[in-house]
Amino acid sequence: MRATRALTTMVAIVALAGCGERAQDRTATTGVGKVDGALLANGGDGRDWAMTGFDYTEDRFSPLKQVNAGNVSKLGLAWFADMPDARGHEATPVVVDGKMFVTGPWSKVFAYDAATGAKLWEFDPGVSKDKGVQACCDVVNRGVAAWKGRLYLGTIDGRLIALDAATGKPDWSVQTTDNSKPYTITGAPRVVKDMVIIGNGGAEFGVRGYVTAYDAATGAKKWRFYTVPNPSGAKDGEASDAAMEKVSPTWSKNGQWKQSGGGGTVWDSIVYDPELDQLYLGVGNGSPWNHGLRSEGQGDNLFLSSIVALKPETGEYIWHYQETPGETWDFTATQPINLATLNIGGQQRKVLMQAPKNGFFYVVDRTNGKLINAGQFIPGVNWASGYDMKTGRPIENPAARFYKTGKPFLAMPSAIAAHNWQPMSFSRQTGLAYIPAQSVGAAYVPPSSPLDGPKPIGFNVGQDLGDAMYPRDVTAVKAATAGATGALVAWDPVANKARWTVPYPTPWNGGTMATAGNLVFQGTALGEFRAYAADTGKQLFSYNAGTGVMAGAATYMVGNTQYVAVLAGRGGALPLSIGYAIGKARDVPNKPRLLVFKLGGTAQLPAAAAVAPRPTPPAPSGTPEQIAQGRLLFGRYCQVCHGASAAGGGVLPDLQHSGVLGDADTWKSILIDGALKDQGMVSFAKVLTPEQAQLIRLYVIDEANWAAKNLTDAAPAPNPGQPPKKTGVR
β-sheet bridge partners, residue 344 = 347
Strands in 666-725 per DSSP E: none
The least distance separating Ca ion from the CB of residue 209, rounded to whole angstroms, comes to 11
HEC string of 535-554 equals: CCCCEEEEEECCCCCCCCCE
Smallest separation, CB 330 to Ca ion (Å): 5
Q: Give least dist CB 547 to Ca ion, A.
A: 26
Min dist CB 267 to Ca ion, Å, is: 8
Q: Which is nearer to Ca ion, 134 or 285 (CB)?
A: 285
Max Cα separation, the chain? 89
Q: What is the C-alpha separation between 336 and 652, in angstroms, rounded?
A: 27
- Residue 594: left (phi > 0), alpha (psi -120 to 50), or beta? beta
User: How many residues in the shown chain lie near Ca ion by CB under 5 A?
Assistant: 2
Smaller CB separation from Ca ion, 112 or 459: 459
Q: Give every CB contact of residue 446 below 8 A, 6+ residues apart in sequence.
A: 290, 292, 402, 403, 406, 408, 463, 464
User: Of the candidates 135, 163, 169, which has an alpha carbon nearest to the alpha carbon of residue 149?
Assistant: 163
Kindly give, in sequence order, each residue whose CB lies less than 8 Å from that of residue 438, ignoring residues fewer than 6 positions away: 378, 413, 416, 417, 418, 419, 420, 484, 485, 486, 487, 507, 508, 509
Instruction: CB nearer to Ca ion: give 315 or 572.
Output: 572
Element (H, E) at 709: helix 690-710
Candidates 24-32, 140-148, 324-332, 438-446: pick the segment binding Ca ion (CB under 5 A).
324-332
Stretch binding Ca ion (CB under 5 A), from 281-289, 434-442, 557-565, 622-630 = 281-289
Q: Which stretch binds Ca ion (CB under 5 A): 325-333, 443-451, 525-533, 646-654?
A: 325-333
Among 103, 155, 260, 285, binds Ca ion (CB under 5 A): 285
Smallest distance, Ca ion to C-beta of residue 204, A: 5
The rounded distance, in Å, linking the Cα atoms of 356 and 485 is 17
**Which DSSP state fits 580?**
G
Q: How far is CA 194 from the centre of its chain?
A: 25
Q: How far is the CB of 520 from Ca ion (least distance, A)?
A: 27
DSSP3 helix / strand / coil % (the chain, rounded to 5): 20, 30, 50
Nearest-angstrom CA–CA distance, 264 and 199: 10
Do residues 416 and 578 lie in contact, with contact meaning Cβ atoms separated by under 8 Å?
yes
Is 120 within 8 Å of 130 (Cβ atoms)? no
Residue type, 637: Y
HSE toward the beta carbon, residue 572, CA cutoff 13 A? 28
CB of 340 to Ca ion, least distance (A): 27
Binding span for Ca ion by CB under 5 A among 6-14, 71-79, 278-286, 599-607 = 278-286
* Stretch near Ca ion under the rule CB under 5 A, chosen from 35-43, 87-95, 277-285, 491-499: 277-285
CB of 304 to Ca ion, least distance (A): 11
The answer to whether the CB of 151 falls within 8 A of the CB of 196 is no
Nearer to Ca ion, 154 or 312 (CB): 154
**How many CB atoms lie under 10 A from the CB of residue 345?**
7
Tell me how far, at minimum, the Cβ of 203 lies from Ca ion, in Å: 5
Catalytic status, residue 330: yes
Q: Are strands 119-123 and 145-147 parallel, antiparallel or unpaired?
A: unpaired
Q: How far is the CB of 284 from Ca ion (least distance, A)?
A: 6
Stretch that binds Ca ion, among 175-183, 282-290, 306-314, 710-718 (CB under 5 A): 282-290
CA 646 to chain centre: 23
Distances (CA, A) of 136 to 183, 508, 641, 652: 10, 16, 8, 14
Catalytic residue among 157, 268, 330, 464: 330
Strands 512-515 and 61-62: parallel
Stretch that binds Ca ion, among 245-253, 330-338, 399-407, 661-669 (CB under 5 A): 330-338
* CB of 460 or CB of 666, closer to Ca ion: 460
Q: State the nearest-atom distance from the C-beta of 360 to Ca ion, in Å.
A: 17
User: Parallel, antiparallel, or unpaired: how do β-strands 347-354 and 145-147 relate?
Assistant: unpaired
Question: Which of 90, 171, 323, 330 touches Ca ion by CB under 5 A?
Answer: 330
State the sign of the Cα–Cα–Cα–Cα dihedral 36, 42, 45, 50: positive
Task: Provide the annotated active-site residues.
Answer: 330
Binding-site ranges for Ca ion (CB under 5 A)? 285, 330
